[in-house]
Amino acid sequence: MIKRWPFLRDTKVQGAIMVTLVLLLIALISSYRSLRMADHLLIVHFDRFHGIDVLGTREDVFGIIFSGWGIAFINVILGYALYFRERFFSYLILFSNVCLATLLLIATIVILSVN
């Protein structure tokens, strides 16, 4: 199947997609392991000056992660659409996906460590 798709044969594309998937899976698994039994409100946002700004449930935390999955999926589709026209923009979108997944993992770890 990959032989038909030159987009997926490119090592830069494969690397960006795999790193993104691994980072998002780490965020999902770590949040599931930490929040599977949480019934109380969670601190989603904390401000140094005002204190706790936003409280939410575990579904809100999972919503953040699944939003990241959706954005990553859309970015892969956009990267595929731009791959044959302008490869640089395709790589830019796919590597911005890695940055997004890294920031999402950091945000998830911060939410879990505060709670």
From first to last of its 115 residues, the chain has per-residue pLDDT tens of 556 667 777 788 889 999 999 999 999 999 888 887 777 777 777 777 887 777 788 888 889 899 999 999 999 999 888 888 888 999 999 999 999 999 999 989 988 888 7
| Rounded-to-integer distance, Cα 19 and Cα 6, Å | 19
pTM assigned to the model: 0.83
Residue 61 domain-assigned? yes
| Rounded-to-integer distance, Cα 111 and Cα 27, Å | 11
* Domain range enclosing 102: 17-114
Residue 84 domain-assigned? yes
Residue 110 domain-assigned? yes
Residue 94 domain-assigned? yes
Residue 41 domain-assigned? yes
What's the total number of domains in the chain? Answer: 1
Residue 8 domain-assigned? no
As given in the structure block, the two tokens for residue 47 are 């401000």
Residue 5 domain-assigned? no
| Rounded-to-integer distance, Cα 97 and Cα 79, Å | 10
